[in-house]
Amino acid sequence: MKWHMRTFFSLLCSVLLLLSCEKSFESDYSCNDKQEKSEENIKILESIKINEAPKHAKTPSEAITHQFEVVFEDGSSRLATENDIISETIIGNQGILTIHSPEGNDRYASFLYHMEDEWILDAILRVSATENLTFKEKEGVYLPMEEFNFLKMNVEVNSHNQELWVFVDLENVITITRLDRYSFVENREVRKVILNNGAEAFMSKDDYENYFLYYYDIEKIIIIAGNIKERDELINIANSLPSVTDPVFPATTK
């Protein structure tokens, strides 16, 4: 099976409708799934809790250390910590955060945020690097891994469509986000690059020394992020992506 054909999550409202200190956020990879036992981690996942973040949180990474809590069957729990954070991309009032999930060493979680008076969590996508189903065919996307797992999510927030693709193996995590175009003030540290198709792209670094890049395509903004340490690798990913009008974006129709 090609990865672009894999079933994805479609959320029609903000996950905030599901959030409270008492309730757990459930997904196909959440409360009803049991974490596999291994020599390194014998804990079995019971549930995921999304707690309220302090209103004074200045960034998504600060908010997540209060929000994302893993509960195990033995009654123990663990919040995400600053050490779990992999990458954080903030562009205007939109934020994309990726962490090593407290569920286990092979687990990742990516989060979409937007800023109003505070950072509001819109969506969560959790993915394992070691599930049985992995992919080898990259379908045109320049990925720094030979085998990978993949998940996609589609969420509508305040009538704006947000799509997130996450590609992972044990060493790499790449996120591609497609959002409705929005206005914001460019950061002075952003560097402009020209892609192979002549389009302008804008590159910068996050606080975790990862490069990220964004560009506009018709009425969309495309954001590429993750634990990307090399500029050329990031540019190669951007150059490999088709137009947003391609029905299997970010894969390429052949």
The average confidence (pLDDT) of the chain is 86
6 part of a folded domain: no
Q: What ranges in the chain are assigned the alpha helix state H? A: 60-67, 231-240
Pairing of strands 9-11, 149-157: parallel
Question: What's residue 36's pLDDT?
Answer: 42
Number of structural domains the chain divides into:
1
Domain assignment of residue 140, given as a range: 45-240
175 part of a folded domain: yes
Nearest of 210, 205, 190 to residue 86 by alpha carbon? 210
SS3 state at 85: strand
193 part of a folded domain: yes
Contacts 24+ apart (CB under 8 A), 158-162: 158/14, 158/114, 162/112, 162/122, 162/123
Question: What's residue 42's pLDDT?
Answer: 62
Residue with tokens 């590159």: 203
pTM higher than the cut 0.75: yes
170 Cα distance to chain centroid: 16
Question: What's residue 17's pLDDT?
Answer: 34
For the chain, residues with pLDDT lower than 50 are 9-40
253 part of a folded domain: no
Asked if 37 contacts 11 with a C-beta cutoff of 8 angstroms, the reply is: no
Look up residue 30 and give its two tokens: 């959440």
pLDDT tens, residue by residue, 101-127:
999 889 999 999 999 999 999 999 999
